[in-house]
Amino acid sequence: METLLFLAPAEDALSKNSLEALAATQQLASSLGAAFSVGLWGDDTQASADGLAACGAAKFLAVTGPEFAQARYSTDAAAAEALCRAAAATVVIGPSGSRWNRVLAGVAHRLGGRSDSHVTGLSASGGAPSVSRWFYRQRMEGVLTRTQRPWLLAVESGIAPAWQGAPGTAAVEAVACAPAAPRSKVAGIEALSADQQTIRPDADLLFVSGAGWTKKQPDGQVKTDVAQKLILDFLGLSRASLGSTKSLVDLHGEGQATLTFLSHMNQVGQTGSTPRHPKGLATCCHGEEPHTVGWRFIGERRAISLDPNCGWARGKADVLYVADAFAVMDKVNALLAAK
Ligand SMILES: Cc1cc2nc3c(=O)[nH]c(=O)nc-3n(C[C@H](O)[C@H](O)[C@H](O)COP(=O)(O)OP(=O)(O)OC[C@H]3O[C@@H](n4cnc5c(N)ncnc54)[C@H](O)[C@@H]3O)c2cc1C
């Protein structure tokens, strides 16, 4: 019989990504006929445990203390290891995020187990759990099982509806953990303002910009500054997440005029990311990679292109607007602003 543990840093435990992973854990536990516990670590674990009080966990375990508040390999790994041992877990499930992804393999090694990241599905057959993940740049899906335990998993966002339940009062069992004195100290956090941060994983819409925005337009002019304003205005009004084709982000490295707010972090596709948003809108974009691979997990897809023969937009978009993206986005922004 498997023993499941849902594990998350306390500060992140009530995020959408985490609640989705919790729902996937509940589903797996029910398919296996197994119980699951919740393990949290951080400065204030009780508040997060209370938020999850009604999730049906058999136990709530927590490593608590100010030294566990900050993201740091040594303290995160020590806390996760202590929680896995205290729960005697055979399958450990955590939401993909910088903290869990960073310590996952190390903690599995310390426990003599195995780890898998980028998990996009959990299922059970014959009393054994199996996981799905994508290979070859999200082109093939594989389902795998493992005999080694514990099996530590980092679950991608968007694979299950987020768990919802009323907060309550969780009976939290304290787990002792005494990590070695940390050698690194967090002096502060420098984060982009919400408006400068154009990658928004929780957004309903992914807006993909292509190199066409920087190309000579039918009137013979290059209008990169107009493109920049149209896109930034749209992102501000719609709160969409910004993706880009490789051609467009590469222009920057070649010293050509381009959209200054883009970096390779925005790139979607075979050598970029494959984000999960309910909707996608590709603009001025012709490539195969953004349309087929970058959009792999986008629910409803639309494209705006001047090229009526773009096979990728025609073949992969649910709706293709054969139109000038400058004119369309200008109108869309005016409508959004009027709202
Ligand atoms: C190994 C490998 C990996 C790659 N990985 C990736 C990847 O991860 N992601 C990726 O994106 N690419 C990737 N590429 C590159 C990819 O094959 C394409 O070259 C690239 O995606 C094309 O970018 P684009 O569509 O922005 O530009 P273009 O091909 O230049 O297309 C621009 C389009 O904009 C249209 N346009 C111009 N003006 C307007 C306007 N006013 N209104 C509407 N439409 C307009 C044009 O008609 C044209 O169709 C990879 C290539 C290789 C070889």
Q: Where are the domains of the chain?
A: 4-174, 205-338
Cα–Cα dist 118/96, whole Å: 7
Q: Name the pTM for this structure.
A: 0.81
Average pLDDT score over residue span 171-195: 87
Q: Which CATH architecture has domain 4-174?
A: 3-Layer(aba) Sandwich (3.40)
Q: Which of 293, 317, 292 is nearest to 305 (CA)?
A: 317
Cα–Cα dist 45/269, whole Å: 38
Mean pLDDT score of the chain: 93
With the most atoms of ligand 1 within 8 angstroms of its CB, the residue from 137, 206, 208, 247 to mutate is 247
* 256-313 pLDDT per residue, tens: 778 888 989 999 998 888 888 999 999 999 988 788 878 888 999 999 999 999 988 8
Query: Which ranges in the chain belong to alpha helices (H)?
Result: 16-32, 45-51, 73-87, 98-111, 224-238, 246-253, 288, 311-316, 325-338
* 222-261 pLDDT per residue, tens: 999 999 999 999 999 999 999 999 999 998 777 777 888 8
Cα–Cα dist 15/22, whole Å: 10
Cβ within 8 Å of residue 309, ≥6 positions away: none
Cβ within 8 Å of residue 300, ≥6 positions away: 278, 279, 280, 318
| 205-338 topology per CATH | Rossmann fold (3.40.50)
Which ligand 1 atom minimizes the distance to the CA of 244?
11
* 20-36 pLDDT per residue, tens: 999 999 999 999 999 99
DSSP letters along 50-110, please? Answer: HHTTTS--S-EEEEESGGGTS--HHHHHHHHHHHHHHHT-SEEEEE-SHHHHHHHHHHHHH
In this structure, which amino acid lies at residue 109? H
Which ligand 1 atom minimizes the distance to the CA of 326?
41
Listed ranges 165-169, 186-190, 260-264; the one with the highest mean pLDDT: 165-169
Cα–Cα dist 47/42, whole Å: 11
Helix 224-238 crosses helix 325-338 at what angle (to 10 degrees)? 40
Residue owning the nearest CA to atom 20 of ligand 1: 287
Q: Do domains 4-174 and 205-338 have the same CATH topology?
A: yes
Instruction: Give the number of other Cβ atoms within 10 Å of residue 276's Cβ.
Output: 16
* 53-77 pLDDT per residue, tens: 999 999 999 999 999 999 999 999 9
Q: Separation of 212 CA from ligand 1 center, angstroms? A: 8
First to last CA, the chain: 56
Q: DSSP label at 268?
A: B
